[in-house]
Amino acid sequence: MIVDVELTAETYGPDCIARLPDGRTLFVPFGVVGETVKVEIVEEKKNYARGKIVKVLQPAAARIEPRCPHFGDCGGCHYQHLPYGAQLALKQRIVTQQLQRIGKIEAPPVMEIVPSPLEWNYRNTVQFHLSAEGKAGYERMGSNRVVQIGECHLPLAAINSLWPQVEIDAESGIERFSIRAGAGDDLLLAFEGANPPEFEIDFPLSVVFLGEEGSTLLSGEDYTLHQVLGRDFHVTAGAFFQVNTAVAEKMVAHVLAALGGRHYRHIVDAYCGVGLFSAFLAPRCDQLTGIELSEAACNDFATNLDEFEHVALYMGKVEQVLPALEIRPDLILLDPPRAGLDARALEGLLKAQPQQVIYVSCDPATLARDLRKLLDDGYTLQSVTPFDMFPQTYHVETISLLTKETH
């Protein structure tokens, strides 16, 4: 079925909202509020439907031509049809709307969004899936089908110079590969699948295979170095690191500014990763405790904070470790995955009763849910600052600052 509709509202995600003649909600990706579009219905449910734009009948003034020919197909980008300023304004509105709707925060103190210095070619890490022919591509949005690509405008130039050369036998058992670029454009290629691949690449780089039994070094080094605010971070192939280094610097600087000149007795960095925040928090306290589940990240954390003798690291789930610590820190910094805080992690946080909480989030919906619980426990939300870690996509990072008078 094909219908003409007006897009009337935006969502947290790639979709705009329209209404079908029968009153059902219609979700339509890659549109702009105010546009009239011709839409093909691709999925129907009792209370809603999903569609795709066949033709833009009355385009919004903000609409621009996407840079990439794969936009709308590969699923990697969502906002290429919007100029960058409009992307930033949309993300700031979405954060505010999520806090109001889900968090029931009437007037959330959302600060002006911090833009990325680079709108394009900002990613230091990219993961590619393999098509049936063994060619690199991305999964289509909402699907496991791999869309083979000929170009991508998100990775750093060093990554873009390498990935088109990677060809894998479709029968090799390799499912995907990632490329990470460190400081100085050092490149680390990581394969994932059933067996280490046979490959030939006329390119100076490090290569590892990530299998069920761990990491196998095939060439060079198993890590890259990333520099943030003049400090080097050792990041191995299996560990997470923020994909936009320039914005990561801005986030660290924001946290440090929030601390002011205060020296803390005890800081807990939950979901501490390789120590991106801990490395800068450690000089500001008498004791720092990190909690991290990933073994690879824990090893990197130990390397990156080796100079500090007052740092303790617990490897495990935050929801298991934090409630068991029996500590009363001054500050807890949280940087959970998109799912937000597990109920037991929140219980441990409320039990610890820190005077300050810094919540780093990559999902405004789960952030809003968790902030509501902290506010109900007596915390005051001082500010929520969005950071555009992922230009051209709907994803957005935020840093929320909360305080509580404790006795």
Q: What is the pLDDT of residue 4?
A: 94
| Averaged pLDDT for residues 319-341 | 95
Q: Is residue 387 part of a domain?
A: yes
**Which of 63, 83, 108 is the last residue in one of the domains?**
63
Quick: pLDDT tens for 18-53. Answer: 999 999 999 999 999 999 999 999 999 999 999 999
Same domain, 287 and 149: no
Q: Is the pLDDT of residue 69 over 90?
A: yes
On average, the pLDDT of the chain sits at: 94
Q: What is the pLDDT of residue 199?
A: 67
Same domain, 133 and 52: no
Q: What's the half-sphere exposure (Cβ side, CA atoms, 13 Å) at 164?
A: 9
Q: What is the pLDDT of residue 111?
A: 98
Same domain, 328 and 255: yes
Quick: pLDDT tens for 116-165. Answer: 999 999 999 999 998 877 788 898 887 888 888 999 999 999 999 998 88
- Identify the band that residue 171 occupies on the pLDDT scale cut at 50, 70 and 90: confident
Same domain, 158 and 292: no
Quick: pLDDT tens for 102-118. Answer: 999 999 999 999 999 99
| Averaged pLDDT for residues 268-280 | 98
Same domain, 297 and 160: no
Active site residue 272: no
Same domain, 113 and 129: no
Same domain, 155 and 184: yes
Greatest mean pLDDT range, 58-72, 166-180, 197-211: 58-72
Q: What is the pLDDT of residue 79?
A: 97
The CATH number that applies at residue 170 is: 2.40.50.1070
Q: Is residue 236 part of a domain?
A: no
**Which of 225, 255, 281 is the last residue in one of the domains?**
225
The CATH number that applies at residue 56 is: 2.40.50.140
Q: Is the pLDDT of residue 307 over 60?
A: yes
Q: Is residue 235 part of a domain?
A: no
Q: Is the pLDDT of residue 280 over 80?
A: yes
Q: Is the pLDDT of residue 407 over 70?
A: no
| Averaged pLDDT for residues 246-250 | 98
Same domain, 167 and 254: no
Same domain, 112 and 219: no
**Which of 193, 225, 257 is the last residue in one of the domains?**
225
| Averaged pLDDT for residues 308-336 | 96
Question: Which residues span the domain enclosing 17?
Answer: 2-63
| Averaged pLDDT for residues 344-359 | 96
Q: Is residue 333 part of a domain?
A: yes
SS3 string of the chain? CEEEEECCEECCCCEEEEECCCCCEEEEECCCCCCEEEEEEEEECCCEEEEEEEEEEECCCCCCCCCCCCCCCCCCCCCCCCCHHHHHHHHHHHHHHHHHHCCCCCCCCECCCECCCCCCCCECEEEEEECCCCCEEEECCCCCCEEECCCCCCECHHHHCCHHHCCCCCCCCEEEEEEEECHHHCEEEEEEECCCCCCCCCCCCEEEEEECCEEEEEECCCEEEEEECCEEEEEECCCCCCCCHHHHHHHHHHHHHHHCCCCEEEEEEECCCCCCCHHHHHHHEEEEEEEECCHHHHHHHHHHCCCCCCEEEEECCHHHHHHHCCCCCCEEEECCCCCCCCHHHHHHHHHHCCCEEEEEECCHHHHHHHHHHHHHCCCEEEEEEEECCCCCCCCCEEEEEEECCCC
Q: Residue 114 contacts by C-beta under 8 Å, 6 or more apart in sequence?
A: 247, 250, 254, 385, 386, 387, 388
Q: Is residue 259 part of a domain?
A: yes
Same domain, 377 and 263: yes
Same domain, 251 and 324: yes
Which residue reads 């509709």 in tokens?
A: 5
List 74, 152, 272, 362, catalytic entry: 362
Q: Is residue 238 part of a domain?
A: no
Q: Are 344 and 320 in contact (CB under 8 A)?
A: yes
Number of domains in the chain: 3
Q: Is residue 292 part of a domain?
A: yes
Global pTM value:
0.94
Same domain, 220 and 280: no
Q: Is residue 9 part of a domain?
A: yes
Give the separation between CA 131 and CA 102, rounded to whole angstroms.
39
